[in-house]
Amino acid sequence: MTTNDDQLHIDKILSGDTNAFSILVNRYKDLVYTLATRMMKNKEEAEEVAQDTFIKAYKSLPKFKGDSKFSTWIYKVAYNTSLDRIKKNKRTEQTLEINEFTAHQVKTIDNALDHLETEERNATIKHCIESLPSEDSFLLTLFYFEELSLDEIAKIVKLKPNNIKVKLFRSRKKLATILKQQLDNETIESYGQTYRAAFR
């Protein structure tokens, strides 16, 4: 369900109070722009996608049923708008060579990240996520920074939760490839030893 506060503004908009939409725009514009940036890899195009997202959302608002969060719905609009722009540009992305990380190794790098200061951790992840292909960047932004559930992410990209789980693991392996270059290897190894000891 959408939050009561979002629904209040949606009801106002549908009743003719167009100014109420600016409140929703201000509430979600930063993340919509971030998600568009992850997809487009270009700030100017991301700005256009973000603008198009809110225009489409406004026009489609009567179709919003409130059976999911408004945030989930607007992120879905942003995702589809980005895909449309990518197809229009006929852009192909370079594939990232993935090291064969095991689940344990990905978890070890996650543990190392957990022990960084929050600001440093976020900066490190954001920097590395920006280097990933569009869909990986998008999924990991929702996973790490919005802390959305598999079900919520599945609704946004129109896939089953199990498919999202697989995609997220592959995306995290790609992220691990880049993070391993950024983090001190000794730091990663020390948390790997801690992780192994906990499961002996």
> Could you tell me the two tokens for 45?
């195009």
Condensed to tens digits (0 to 9), the pLDDT of residues 77-90 reads: 999 999 999 988 87
Per-residue pLDDT tens over the stretch 9-63: 999 999 999 899 999 999 999 999 999 999 998 899 999 999 999 999 999 999 8
Indicate the helix (H) or strand (E) that contains 198: helix 185-198
| Digit-coded pLDDT (tens) for 90-118 | 765 554 455 555 555 555 656 655 655 66
Using an 8 Å Cβ cutoff, are 167 and 68 in contact?
no
pLDDT at 108: 60
The torsion region of residue 168 among left (phi > 0), alpha (psi -120 to 50) and beta comes to alpha
Q: What is the pLDDT of residue 200?
A: 41
**In which band, very low, low, confident or very high, does the pLDDT at 187 lie, cut at 50, 70 and 90?**
low
CA distance 52 to 103: 38
pLDDT digits 0-9 by tens, 133-171: 999 999 999 988 888 999 999 999 999 999 999 999 888
pLDDT attached to residue 102: 58
Domains of the chain, earliest start first: 4-89 (1.10.1740.10), 103-198 (1.20.140.160)
CB 168 within 8 A of CB 143: yes
pLDDT, position 1: 43
Rg (CA), the chain: 19
User: What integer pLDDT is reported at residue 96 of this predicted model?
Assistant: 47
